[in-house]
Amino acid sequence: MKKAATVKKAVTVKKATAAAKAAPAEESAPGKKTVPAKKAVSAKKAAPAKKAVAGDVTADRVAPAKPPRDESHTALVRRARRINRELAEVYPYAHPELDFENPFQLVVATVLSAQTTDLRVNQTTPALFAKYPTPEDLAAANPEEVEEILRPTGFFRAKTKSVMGLSKALRDDFGGEVPGRLEDLVKLPGVGRKTAFVVLGNAFGRPGITVDTHFQRLVRRWEWTAEKEPDKIERAVGELFPKSDWTMLSHHVIFHGRRICHARKPACGACPIAPLCPAYGEGETDPEKAKKLLKYEKGGFPGQRLNPPQSYLDAGGIPAPPLGAPATAPPASPDSPAPGSTAPAPGSPSRGTG
């Protein structure tokens, strides 16, 4: 009986001891579980918040580079020249996009480029210059035959009158030579300041600013000037750059306007100067969608010249096809139209790109 009592007592003591040890453990266990649980919940709640912030920052990482309202002329000059430097790196091969071999061909081609693309002009002038290689030849041509050649460029009757008229003026007033002075060029039929500066800058190496539709659009988007008339835009922008930069500045701006900074839907998300642009966000900002808007060599498509300079070809540019020949398509991609699709390619004449 004593042994049984002793055993019971020992069992009771062991149970009490075990309960005493278990009690603190049970009390502390909920505490340990609760603290990590709260931390875990906090962590889970914090994680999505960080992702959301990161997502917003990524989407808005490029903001319009709006200049201050009281921007000084010096600050504007610096800003404009920086954009031009950046464009020079993007388009080191920028050039006039009309095929020509001499000043006469350039002045005729520039007159023909009104209301059509440079591509269409380049596809048309080989036949014109093969038949009428000099001002004397074109001045003495049969107007109906010239009209037929120029028909693809549109407004072919008016253009025939202009190129034949300027050819007669060159023959009669300038000894069959294109003059190298602005005041003489603008006297030729169909030749205005824009055409004159194209000829002076690219055929004679004399600086000039070419204010075409692309140039006008971009300099206003960049807030270089608020002027809308070509002559006033020319003067305003000319004050921001040394005269020696004028011709290449024109090429840089026009190249950018034709390839990336389009009139209706600029490819903002694929623009290399987006951080400097006050108008960023007017167009497509999604990088992948913006890439699909790129034209000519930037989109892998043929350019506008049948005979582009070597620097353009070295940069991956593709010559334009002759009149009537199919355009070369870019390498296929997952987003390319299905075979047999008739969707026009960026930079193709069917898009009416100038």
Burial pattern 245-283, b for ≥16 Cβ within 10 A else e, equals bbbbbbbbbbbbbbbbbbeeebbbbbbebbebbbbbbeb
DSSP one-letter string for 296-351: GGGTT-B-S-SS--HHHHHTT-BPPPPTTSPPPPPPP-TTSPPTT--PPPTTSGGG
| 329, 342 contact by CB (below 8 A) | no
Q: Tell me the two tokens of residue 158.
A: 């008016």
φ, ψ at 126 (rounded to 5°): -55, -45
The CA distance from 308 to 41, in Å, is 64
Nearest by Cα to 139 from 186, 99, 106, 175: 175
Query: Residues 6 or more apart from 186 whose CB is under 8 A from it?
Result: 192, 193, 196
Catalytic machinery residues: 194, 212
CA dihedral 240, 242, 246, 251 (to 10 degrees): -80
In angstroms, the Cα distances linking 302 to 32, 294, 299 are: 69, 12, 9
The CA distance from 178 to 96, in Å, is 18
Query: Residues 6 or more apart from 234 whose CB is under 8 A from it?
Result: 193, 209, 211
Q: Find where tokens 């270089």 sit.
A: 224
The CA distance from 293 to 287, in Å, is 10
Query: Residues 6 or more apart from 313 whose CB is under 8 A from it?
Result: 319
The CA distance from 240 to 236, in Å, is 7
